[in-house]
Every structure is written in structure tokens, then in C-alpha cells.
Amino acid sequence: MAQFRAAPAHEALTTDQGVRVDDTDNALRAGTRGPTLLEDFHNREKITHFDHERIPERVVHARGAGAYGYFEPYESLAEYTCADFLAESGRRTPVFVRFSTVQGPRGSADTVRDVRGFATKFYTREGNYDLVGNNMPVFFIQDAIKFPDFVHAVKMEPHNEMPTGASAHDTFWDFCSLQPESTHMLMWLMSDRAIPRSFRMMQGFGVHTFRFVTADGRGTFVKFHWKPRLGVNSLVWDEAQIAAGRDPDFHRRDLWEAIESGQYPEWELGVQLVPENDEFAFDFDLLDATKIIPEEQVPVRPIGRMVLDRNPQNFFAETEQVAFHTANVVPGIDFTNDPLLQGRNFSYLDTQLIRLGGPNFSQLPVNRPIADVHHNHRDGFGQQVIHPGTNYFPNSLGGGCPAHAGSGGGPGVFRHYAQRVDGEKIRVRSDSFQDHYSQATLFWNSMSDWEKRHIVEAFRFELGKVDSVQVRERMVGNLAHVNGDLAAGVADGLGLPAPDPVPGLPVTASPALSQENLRSSAGIRTRKVAVLVADGTDTAQVTAVRERLTTAGAIVEVLAAKDGSVRGTDNDTLDVDRALPTMASVLYDAVVVADGKEAVGALAADPAAVRFVEEAYRHGKPLAVLGEGTRLLSEAKLPEAVFLGSSAPDHGVITSNGSASAEDVADALAAALEQHRFPHRPGLLN
């Protein structure tokens, strides 16, 4: 009997049974744009083996946080779908949402550069519907048969299990440089979208094109968008790295504390609707998961809102055991032939079987539907239901039950969208999937100057961690097909020659893609502000600032060199919320420096306080300074023009200048907080 061994160089690819395979890039489908076929044994074997590689942790999206809440539509969508939970304005449907990172294990940090999962389970009256998406609207690959390859590449290197929770290593970039279809997703991953300020401030997307289906069988293509009420905001890279050390649970803690304090996160659900007869009206393929529909071509229509208002009681029982599946749909929502979606519809169920120990995971409380369940499934690991009577169909001994919901129609019955399917069985991707760069260019063209700078810096950092020169060169060559300045900037940081310009690149842009245009009008609710104090602080001013900001919804914490309290200028006392050595500026959205000559002298002599202010400035965060506090800004070597000149508010640095009251400073800081960050400050590195 032959012994299993690692494949030597130049050997042909085979199945587990030793059958040679001619194509592992394209699943078997009916025609170039047809559905994936179940008989594709290579695809099933490859994905099944991949799904069972980890026990019991999720292979991807292992680190997550979840919460319960509700969804309510703004109006009836019966014109487009017979989905019951979208049929009536204001009807509340319970939900459970799980946010996650993709690459790292459960013990990795929250603020790594990565895609974030955004999966929502709707407990509808017609069964559970899972909208399993990400915080980016596209993906790395077009066909699910490539998913094991992508994840193997982005996961830790197999020989040393490094790096944890990061994509900055050789195998990932080797794969991407050889797979140009990943280029659009790489632009999103290298942007600030990959390091969100919090789960509460990031968008979510269904990624794929799905179908709405009406009661009479009419279909409409649909893409799903979640938009956070608090606006779309991100960290900067240096800030994210520091936060990973100061608080690896930064995002999980943020979500938990917001809900516990009654500041419930909220998102608006929107849809892009495309009539069936417009399927081929675009210069890209609707079935291609590496493409978006620009909002300028098809506006996003708001259809409802989601509020998360309850934390789980037990992380393992709920957040860890929740099982999502793209094929968990309800009447009125159906699939398209997107080859990535088709593969996910197989993979998710297969994964849950091994991760949760058998076929009865839907009986776990977090997965249990509120709709009645009647079927002939029996036994298996984890069975919690005592089933009397018959367990087969058809039967007469059980009165014929459970019976078919009826072939004659009626509400609440799932019927697949009727679509003609024909074509040769073939492992070939449609020619309409071959454009891998134009939307990557669209993304680049849509960014503000500071967003472009961050993207270049991210590519430099990631590729700078790659040892293989040929991988670096190949990736820079790919970027030349996106934008010449981008490729040249990355090449310069890597010590490589700039590639030759590629003529005729698109010049179109989509303003909806830039975070510059995605700020919130919801004020400063839940924004965290640190106030630096010491003995000799003007406590009246601190109290006035705190009350003003708290009334506006911000969370204000007083920080000093040690816990307890500090003495005020009038020998009164001010309680300290946090000891400065245990915190960092990266854990706050803004910083206030209190007044008081003695206090400012102590702060200026404290390296931790000086670093606190310097980091906040360098990361573009709003700063407010009362009276003598400007001395601390000088000690942190901030440009004097920023806090002494009349243009200071334009840079998010607010001072009292001897005349403004504490309330005036607080109001100006609140206005600055609504801007989130000031990326054009003099001397700013990020």
C-alpha cells in the first residue's frame, strides 16, 4: 500500500483518491454563468476537507462578539418580495448579530488590519434568515473553489504558525499577486476600512447579488447594505497597533459597554434593486463578488433599521455557538448563480456539522427559530427533542404529518425562483468575470488625499514584511494596472523601480466610497473623552466641560497619575476615573487638558501625560486645552501655530485663549468630535 507523503515538486494535482485534476480554479457549472453543480466531486472534496480543518474553533471568523436586538422595516416591500418580515412597517423581528475578524484565532487582537464579519440572524415568523456579510462589499475571489486556497494563504505560515491576526506575510501576498481578481478587495483591505474605530461605526454588506421574489414569482436582483447611525469611522494604523497592546479587546469592550450603558448601536438597512431585465446593463457582471454596483448608478434605498439592545448572557452558549448559513433563506429571498455564493451555500452547513458536533445545532437556543419546526429528522449528536410517532413520509399511521405545505400555493411557503438553466458542464469562468482592475481604480479615484496616503502606507507595510522580492515586484506590477501614483509610491517605499505607466486607466470616481463623505449627523453620542488632571487642577472648569459633553452624549473620564482623587485650586477634590499608566490616548476619541498652573506643571513633567497628548495629536484626534494647558502642548512639541494661531479650530485643537469659557471650549470640542479626525494637521504622520 502506498504511503501518504508530501507532494514533490512538479507533480500533478490530484484528489484524495489519486485522480488527477485539470482545473482547481473554477467549479463545475452549467454554462459559463450557470449554477454550480453538485456532482463536482473535486469541489466538494476540497471544500469539505477545508471545512473540517479546525476543531472546534471556526476556521475563519474565529474571534467575534455578538448581541441581540431587533429589525423593523420603514415600509412594506411587498412590491418586490413576499418576505414576511419585510411586509409591514414597524413590525419588529428579533435578531442576533455577530461581528468578527477573519484571519486570527480566538486569542488574537481586535484592532488588527483585517476584514470584519457582519452576520445577522433574523428570527422571522417564517423561519430563520441569515444575512452573512462583511464590512467590505467585495471579496478576494470569484469562485468558492478558491476559498481554501485563499484562507490557507492568509492564515499563519504553516511552518512557524506566524503571524497571528495579520496578512503581512509571504504566502498571502504570493497568492494575491498571482490572483489579480483579488486586487479590488486588496484596495479595501489596505484602506482604513480594515481598521474600524468600532463595530458600531462600520458598514456591513451582503457582498453577493441576491434575489427578492414576489408571491407571484417575479424576481428583482438585490444587494444589501448596512449603514451605521454613528457614521463610518476608522482608526489609523499606528493607533490600531498601540490599541492591540493596550486593550486587545478594544472592539468587543466597546460594543459591550455601549449596550450595557443603554447607548444602543443602530444601523440602517438599505438595498440596491436591479430589475431582471437590467441584468446585463452594466460594464461588469452582477454575479461577480469582486464587483460593486456604484451607488451613482443604482442608489441605495433605505428600507429599515436595526437596533442592538441586549448583550449575551454566556459567550460560549450564544456568541460561540451561533451558526450562520448563507442558505438559511425565507420565502421571498433567493440566490443567484454567483459561484462564490453557490459554494458558500454548501460550505457553511458542512462547517457547522463538524464544529458543533452534529446535525442538531439548530436546536441550540441561539440558533433555534421562533417559527414552528416539523420534520422527520431524527437522532444524531446533541438531539434535544423527544419525537413521538412516525419518522417518514409518506405515512398513514401518523395522519400523513408532517405533510407538504402544499403545491397549490399559499403564503409562507418557500418556492425557488424559476429560472431556465442550460449549458455544457464545463470548468470555465465567464468572460464577463475577467476585468480585475477597473473597480480597484474606481476605489482609488474615489479616495481623499489622506485616504490615498494611508493606502500607500499600508501596502508598504504589508509588502515590507514579505521576504520574497519576486512577490513584491509582482504585486507592484499589479498595482500599476490600478494607478500609476499608487504603484510608484508603493515601489518607492520598497526600494523598487516604479513600473511603467499603464495607459488608458479609468478616471471615474464614486464619492460614496470615501469615508470623508460618510460622517454621521448623530452628534457625539458614545464618543470617549479623556480629561488629564493633577493636583492643582481648576476643578470647576473640568466639571463644566464634563457636564456639557456628557449632556451631548459623550463619555468623559478623568485621568490622573494615580487612582483616587486630585486636589483642586480651591482645596476641593475631583474624583479620578482612571489611572493614566493603565490607559492610552488610543482608547479615547478626544483629549482635554485641564487648567491650573500647578497641575499643568505636574502633567508636563509626566512622560506618560506628554506622550498621551503627542499621540492624540499625531493620530489626528480633537484636543481641547484650558488656560495654562497649552504648556503641555509645547512640552509634547506640537507646532505652536496649531494652538496659538486663529486657524487652530481647523486642525481640531481648541484653546480658551484667555477669553473663551469652559462651556465654549466644550462646545467647540463637540463640533470637532463630529469630524472624528483631522488628517491635515502640520507634522501629522498618519
Q: Which residues are catalytic?
A: 61, 134
What are the phi and psi torsion angles at 49 (to 5°)? -60, -40
Enter the DSSP assignment of 20: B
> Is 286 in contact with 441 (CB distance < 8 Å)?
no
Q: What are phi and psi of 117, to 5 degrees?
A: -75, 145
Query: Angle formed by the axes of helices 469-479 and 449-464, to 10°?
Result: 160
Are the CB atoms for 674 and 519 separated by under 8 Å? Answer: yes
Per-residue DSSP letter, 482? T
As a whole number of angstroms, the distance between CA 207 and CA 225 comes to: 9
Q: State the Cα–Cα distance between residues 411 and 558, nearest whole angstrom.
A: 58
Please list the alpha-helical segments (H only) found in 435-525.
Answer: 438-446, 449-464, 469-479, 484-494
Separation between Cα atoms, residue 373 and residue 626, nearest integer Å: 63
Rounded Cα distance, 175 and 306, in Å: 37
Tell me which residue of 105, 108, 9 sits closest to 53, measured CA to CA. Answer: 105
Closest CA to 510 of 289, 294, 252, 655: 294
Distance separating alpha carbons of residues 116 and 109, to the nearest angstrom: 13
Residues 6+ apart with CB under 8 A from 185: 136, 138, 139, 140, 290
Helix axes 41-51, 147-154, angle to 10 degrees: 30
Place of cell 482635554: 592
d(CA 456, CA 190): 8
DSSP code of residue 6: P
Query: Nearest to residue 56, comparing CAs of 273, 323, 265, 255?
Result: 323
The DSSP bridge pattern shows strands 590-593 and 623-625 to be parallel
Cell readout for 444 is: 482609488
Residue 422, phi-psi category: left (phi > 0), alpha (psi -120 to 50), beta (remainder): beta
- C-alpha distances out from residue 273 to 286, 297, 301, 512, Å: 12, 11, 8, 17
How far, in Å, CA of 189 to CA of 136, rounded?
8
3-state secondary structure of 173: helix
The closest of 226, 10, 208, 233 to 99, measured between CA atoms, is 226
Q: Are strands 116-124 and 127-134 parallel, antiparallel or unpaired?
A: antiparallel
Identify whether the C-beta of residue 362 lies closer than 8 Å to the C-beta of residue 368.
Answer: yes
From residue 611, alpha-carbon distances to 240, 585, 648 in Å are 16, 9, 20
In 3D, which of 215, 31, 230, 226 has the Cα closest to residue 118?
A: 226
Q: Are 115 and 101 in contact (CB under 8 A)?
A: yes
